[in-house]
Structures are given as structure tokens and as C-alpha cells.
Structure 1
């Protein structure tokens, strides 16, 4: 099994991208799949994408490629059953492409400063969250989204806005979710701003479970 990790940025660039690539590569070694990490948009063709069980957008931002055919390739891949996983700033990517907005689930709006908070686990059977307690305390950058995706996705995690300062979505503040409305499976998590995130065993298990879902390796 091969998974593509794509981390091109044409907007804000996260310093944690190398840590994320390293963590996903290590997960591949530990669990028997190959990770191909690149920022080269030449990989976004129908022929190249056909060789991957899932495509992961790791804190991408802005435009994924200057070639419009790259959009067609990614859309064709997903509609043909290919898996997608978006991590953190993937929600800041391709704001003017409706398909991608549906694929990732919601668009980033704003965030307060990095700080500790409580994450509430809504689904404790999904492979991305089954290992977590009902309440998961951790430090991250807590994204607010332009819209609440709940009506279109299956929510896995939400933020407890009473546990930190600056949240703007209220009591129902999704942070991670999944869906299969476009043909292939899609998983998104807003977590993963900091380098330290990718060293956390619980966070790594969260990402691994999301990849297993996206690739269809778990129900």
C-alpha cells in the first residue's frame, strides 16, 4: 500500500510540516505501508495518483498546482474511489474550488493563539478515535471554520470552547470528521499545528486511524 503525502504551500507555511512528514513516514514503516512525500505538483496527474491508496494533504495552503489539470486529476481520483486525508491547514487550500471544499468538509476561518484545551470525542468506535478517552486534553491551534460541517459529515471530535479562550463556533465546534459522499473516503483533522503534535502517541494513532479509514482498510 502506498500513500501520497503532499505538502505544497502557496500561502502560509507551517513550520511543523517536516515533523508531520517524519511522523507519517514512521507510521508507514511501523505498519507496513509506503509513504511518498512531495511538494512537486507534477505528482497530481491521473496516472500518478492511480498508484496510491490515499492522498494526504499535510498543512497545504493556497493553490495545489498552477496547472488546472491537477484539479481534474484529484477530483477524478476521489470520484473513482480514491481516499483522501486532510491534516490541519488542508482546510486553507483551494478556497475557490467547490469540489475541494466538499472534499475537505469545511473552510478555515480564523484561530486564537496556541493554547491548551479539551477535545471531546464523539465517536469512540472509529479507527481514528477508538483509542481516545471521552475527553482528550492537549495543546494545539484551534481552528474556527466558516461553516459547521456537521450536516454533511460524520463528526469524530469537537472542541470544548469553555476550556480555552477565543473560540467562535460555540458549543458545536467540530474538529475532525469523515465522509464518503464523493466516491472515495475522506478524513479531515484540524489538529497538528505544532511540531510536538507529531510526537504524541495519541495523535499518531489518530492519524493512523484516519489513514486506515481513508484507504478503506477498516469498515
Structure 2
């Protein structure tokens, strides 16, 4: 009888006390970096930076380039999904449907650089990201980024050297622009005096945030870029009401 009694007492000790629940784990972010077209050499650096910034925000980030992660039961584990320099057609129809449902259930999306060069045959995604890539000037170029709030400059501009996308449309009026770049300082810009480079908005029940910066690996060490990405992660994950 004594061994049976000891076993019973041990099993009872493992039961949770009444009124106490297990402590919730940290919020999770899925960092997705699959490419079906151009593959950015900066992807490992981008993923590492996003993991660091997620950890700073108290979140756990899981990197993946496997589209099979886009199923309802798995996406339900995450607060936000980051498309980090994805390109081309990276999800099939069922995976696209799972992503749409994730956002409609209140999830967040964060797009980095070539996220705008992704899924051209998926109209919902085009609205999620805000604007698709059109073309870019050759090489890395220097300009300045002007932070913006409520349509007006917010704080000083800061320098950047990166590949600078032109977009198929100017998303202003459909999104909240949070930064522009100065085309007068480099060659090959086609959007004119108003060239948004980062923006956000509530979308289809969830949240969307995007930056066009992030082609070159060096930008992920830039404190201004890191501050921008940190802001995006917090907004996409629902940790900050304002992007």
C-alpha cells in the first residue's frame, strides 16, 4: 500500500492549485523569408535583427522559409507574421486563405523591403502590403529618410544608403505614411516629391506595417532603421496602438 500511496501523493502534487493558471508564454512572431524570385543575401542578417528586436520587445521570434507553416492551427500561435525580403509566389491557395483568416482574426503583418515584390497574383495581399514594387534604381544610393506623423514631418531626417524602391502606386490616402525618402538626393526615383517608404494601417480586422528599407545587410545595424523596425514589430503584434 505504501508505494501506491506515495504514487498518489506525487500525482496530486503535479495538479495545479485551484484558482491558479499556468503563466502565459511570451507572444510569438513568425519571420517568413521564402523566396521564389530574387534571393537577398541580407536575409540572414535581417532575420537575426528581427529576432533580436523581438526579444527586446519581450516576444519570441521563429524564423521559417517553409510555406507549410501557413495553416490555421500554426498561425494561431502567433501575434504577427513578418515577410522578410520574400519574393515571388511563396504561398499556395490554401496557405493564402490561412493568412487571410489570420489577419481577420486580429493578427498582424509586417513587411520588410521585398515583401512588396511578392504575390502579384493575390489581390488581397497587394492591399495588405499597401503597394507593390515597380522598379528601383541601380545599386545602393544615399538619401535621407523623413519621419512623418499625421501628414507632417516629425523630427529630423536621417541618412540612409540602400536600394530604394519605386512603387506601382503611391499608397498615401489608403495608409498612414510614417516616413518618406528625398528623391532629389539620388538618381532614379519616379514617384516625385512625395515618395513614401514606410507606412501602416488597420486592415481587414488586423494590422499591417511595411518598410521599403532593408535590401542591404548594413542597414540592419543602422540605429534609425532598427528603431523603425522595432516600431513595426510592436504595432504588428498589437503592443502599440499607434504605428
In structure 2, the residue matched to 1:5 is: 31
The answer as to 2:98 corresponding to 1:73 is yes
CA-CA distance at 1:30 after TM superposition = 2.8
In structure 1, the residue matched to 2:136 is: 111
The answer as to 2:165 corresponding to 1:143 is yes
In structure 2, the residue matched to 1:41 is: 67
CA-CA distance at 1:31 after TM superposition = 2.9
The answer as to 2:51 corresponding to 1:25 is yes
In structure 2, the residue matched to 1:99 is: 124
Normalising by the residue count of structure 1, what TM-score does the alignment of the two structures yield?
0.93
Structure 1 residue ranges, 4+ long, deviating more than 3 angstroms after superposition: none
In structure 1, the residue matched to 2:8 is: none
The answer as to 2:191 corresponding to 1:162 is no
CA-CA distance at 1:200 after TM superposition = 1.5
Measured in 2, the distance between the counterparts of 1:162 and 1:212 equals 32
Q: CA RMSD in A?
A: 1.4
CA-CA distance at 1:29 after TM superposition = 2.8
* Residues paired across the two proteins, number: 212
Structure 1 unpaired stretches of 5+: none
Q: Which has the higher contact order (CA 8 A, sep 6+)?
A: 1
Normalising by the residue count of structure 2, what TM-score does the alignment of the two structures yield?
0.84
**Within 5 Å, which residues of 2 pair with 1:175-194?**
175-194=197-216
CA contact (8 A) 2:54 2:233 kept: no
In structure 2, the residue matched to 1:213 is: 235
CA-CA distance at 1:94 after TM superposition = 0.4
Structure 2 unpaired stretches of 5+: 1-26
